[in-house]
């Protein structure tokens, strides 16, 4: 009897499970999500003109836009957060842009990426060429022993001398320094102020910028003064054929710099303190830092060399450095 009851219970539960499952559909297996491939980064062609970088790149299939990042640092931009100097292009068909007001003389690194529907490319770098410096200004302009009018200003290009050049003066020294060390200056150094029969003349100092295109001409108008007998220079006993320079030595207001100048000479100049070369210049004017010198007496000298390192002129003066 017990065995029959147990069998009936098994049959009952089997029928119950069958009824419960009747009409229901087993759940379908989830399909794997399609993985989208990243876009290909664009290839950027870089050119520059003055303060502008020009960029062109190829069209990337599937791109809806592009991002351009530029920096003087070679470090890659972040993949999660755009840096401040990112340019965003909102069209996949726009394939060029330009970056304005770029610093002259600097080298810029350009990074680009294609953007799409959550499938941005990686950043790819293009190296911009060093931006040419188009600065063609002077930082200083002087004629030794004369004063310019108006007072020198890099943005003023025409000057005259406040006093005429004495006719007995055979050479004058023009000292000109460019604002940009890579600019080329012509027209400085020793010059003959007048040609035969001239009473007036114009000295032109040209500054050509590093880019080789931009230039400025600074002009100095000079006139002949009264005829003055030129003093005969004595020969230096140190060697045959060596002339004597009129070497002038002045201090700046803090007595930390020597301001040295000589009116005559032609070639290149070596400036000495106690026989040790401190500077070599192309003009007869320079400044030498003496703030490091201990109190004592020093011999300041200049030697002017011409071709083949032949001494043409020389001169020496003695100065005393006092306690502060």
Q: Within this chain, do residues 148 and 123 fall inside the same structural domain, yes or no?
A: no
Give dist(CA 131, CA 107) in Å, integer: 6
Residues 191, 252 within the same domain: no
**What's the rounded Cα separation, in Å, for the pair 232 and 117?**
88
How much is the average pLDDT of 61-74?
91
Q: Is residue 23 a part of any domain in this protein?
A: no
Same domain? For 253 and 271 the reply is: yes
First-to-last C-alpha distance (Å) of the chain: 129
Asked if 268 and 296 sit in the same domain, the reply is: yes
- Distance (Å, rounded) from C-alpha 137 to C-alpha 148? 17
More confident position, 82 or 227: 82
Contact assessment for residue 69 and residue 81, using Cβ atoms and an 8 Å cutoff: no
Residues in CB range of 286: below 8 A, 6 or more apart:
260, 261, 269, 271, 279
On average, the pLDDT of the chain sits at 77
- Whether residues 219 and 248 share a domain: the answer is no
List the structure tokens of 1: 């009897």
Residues 209 and 281 in one domain: no
Of the three residues 84, 109, 130, the one that is the final residue of a domain is: 130
For residue 77, what is the domain's CATH number?
2.60.40.10
Band of residue 59 on the pLDDT scale cut at 50, 70, 90: very high
Same domain for 285 and 301, yes or no, is: yes
Please, where are the H alpha helices in the chain?
2-21
In a domain, 166, yes or no: yes
Three-state SS at 7: helix
Mean pLDDT in residue range 231-243: 40
Indicate whether 302 belongs to any domain: yes
Per-residue pLDDT band for 218 (boundaries 50, 70, 90) equals: very high
Closest by CA to 217, choosing from 133, 138, 134, is 138
Is 100 a domain residue? yes
| pLDDT band per the 50, 70, 90 thresholds, residue 240 | very low
DSSP notation for 145-163:
TS-EES---TT--EEEESS
Q: Domain boundary residue among 188, 223, 258?
A: 223
| Residue 307 lies in domain | 243-321
Q: What's the CATH number where 201 sits?
A: 2.60.40
Backbone angles phi, psi at 12, to 5 degrees: -60, -50
Q: 219 and 267, same structural domain?
A: no
**Does one domain contain both 146 and 118?**
no
Going 125 to 129 to 130 to 134, the CA torsion angle's sign is negative
Q: What is the mean pLDDT of residues 196-219?
A: 88
Secondary structure of residue 79 in the 3-state scheme: coil
Q: Tokens 């020597």 correspond to what residue?
A: 258
CA–CA separation, 240 vs 47, rounded Å? Answer: 58
The DSSP annotation for 123-139 comes to PEEEEEEEPPP----EE
Q: What are phi and psi of 67, to 5 degrees?
A: -130, 135
Tell me how many domains the chain contains: 3
Q: Let me know if residue 112 belongs to a domain.
A: yes
Of 223, 255, 273, the domain-final residue: 223
Which residues are paired to 190 by β-bridges?
173
Whole-number pLDDT of residue 82: 78
Q: For residue 38, is it within any domain? A: no
Same domain for 99 and 167: no
d(C-alpha 258, C-alpha 123), whole Å: 55
Domain membership of residue 10 (yes or no) is: no
Task: Name the DSSP letter for residue 4.
Answer: H
Q: Are residues 114 and 146 in the same domain?
A: no
Domain co-membership, 125 together with 142: no
Q: How far apart are CA 60 and CA 122, in angstroms?
A: 13
34 falls within a domain: no
**Range in 227-241, 244-258, 266-280 the model is least confident about:** 227-241
């Amino acid at each position: 009897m017990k065995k029959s009851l147990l069998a009936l219970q098994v049959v009952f539960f089997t029928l119950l499970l069958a009824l419960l499952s009747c009409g229901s559909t087993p759940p379908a297996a989830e399909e794997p999500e399609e993985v989208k491939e990243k876009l290909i980064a664009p290839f950027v062609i870089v050119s520059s003109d003055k303060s502008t970088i020009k960029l062109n790149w190829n069209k990337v299939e599937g791109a809806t836009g592009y991002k351009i990042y530029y920096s003087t640092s070679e470090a890659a931009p972040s993949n999660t957060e755009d840096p401040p100097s990112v340019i965003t292009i909102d069209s996949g068909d726009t394939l060029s842009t330009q970056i304005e007001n770029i610093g002259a003389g600097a080298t810029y690194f350009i990074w680009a990426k294609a953007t799409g529907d959550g499938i941005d490319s990686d950043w790819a770098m293009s190296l911009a060429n060093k931006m040419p410096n188009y600065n063609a200004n002077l930082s200083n302009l002087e004629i030794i022993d004369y004063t310019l009018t108006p007072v020198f200003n890099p943005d003023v290009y025409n000057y005259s001398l406040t006093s005429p050049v004495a006719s007995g003066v055979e050479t004058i020294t023009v000292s000109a320094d460019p604002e940009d060390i890579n600019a080329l200056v012509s027209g400085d150094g020793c010059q003959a102020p007048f040609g035969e029969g001239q009473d007036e003349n114009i000295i032109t100092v040209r500054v050509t910028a590093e880019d080789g295109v931009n230039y400025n001409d600074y002009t100095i108008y000079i006139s002949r003064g009264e005829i003055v007998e030129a003093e005969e220079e004595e020969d230096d006993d140190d060697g045959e054929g060596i002339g004597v320079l009129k070497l002038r030595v002045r201090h700046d207001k803090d007595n930390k710099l020597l301001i040295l100048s000589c009116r005559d000479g032609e070639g290149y100049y070596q400036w000495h303190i106690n026989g040790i070369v401190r500077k070599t210049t192309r003009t007869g004017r320079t400044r030498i830092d003496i703030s490091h010198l201990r109190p004592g007496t020093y011999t300041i000298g200049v030697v002017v060399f011409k071709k083949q390192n032949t001494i043409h002129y020389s001169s020496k003066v003695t100065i005393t450095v006092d306690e502060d």
